[in-house]
A and B are shown apart, each in its own frame.
Chain A
Amino acid sequence: MSELNKIVLKQSANELSVYTPGHSCYLEQIRTLVCALTRKIGFPEDEVAKIEIAVDEVCSNIIQHAYAAGAKWCWPDRSPEIRMNLRVKQNQLIIAINHHGASFDYAACCPKSIDVRLQELHPDGYGIFIIRKFMDEVGYTSSATTGNTIHLIKHLPACPPPTHPEIAARAYELYVQRGRRDGHAWDDWLQAQAELTQRSGIRLPLTEESGRALIETPQCQ
Chain B
Amino acid sequence: MSNFRLSQETRGAVTVVQVAGSLDLETYPRLENLLTAQFQQPHATVLLDCKNLQSIGSMGLGGLIKFTNQSRAQGEDRKLVNGPERVYKIIASLGFTRVRQVDSPEDEGRASITNPRNCDE
Contact of B25 among A45, A63, A126 (CB under 8 A): A63
Are A119 and B24 closer than 8 Å at their CB atoms? no
- 8 Å CB contacts to A: which residues of B22-65? 22, 24-26, 55-59, 61-63, 65
Majority DSSP secondary structure for residues of A touching B: helix
Are B57 and A25 closer than 8 Å at their CB atoms? no
- Number of residues on chain B facing chain A (CB within 8 A): 30
B94 CB to closest chain A CB (Å) equals 6
* Alpha-carbon separation in the docked complex, A50 to B87 (Å): 10
Give the segment of B8-16, B95-103, B109-117 that binds chain A: B95-103
Are A64 and B86 closer than 8 Å at their CB atoms? no
- Set of chain B residues within 8 Å of A56, measured between Cβ atoms: 24, 55, 57
Known: A24-B25, A28-B3, A63-B25. A49 touches B86 (CB 8 A): yes
- Say yes or no for B7: interface residue by CB 8 A criterion: no
- Say yes or no for A78: interface residue by CB 8 A criterion: no
* Alpha-carbon separation in the docked complex, A29 to B98 (Å): 32
Residues of A within 8 A of B (CB): 24-25, 27-29, 31, 45-46, 49-50, 52-53, 56-57, 60, 63-64, 114-115, 118-119, 121-124, 126-127, 129-130, 133, 215-219
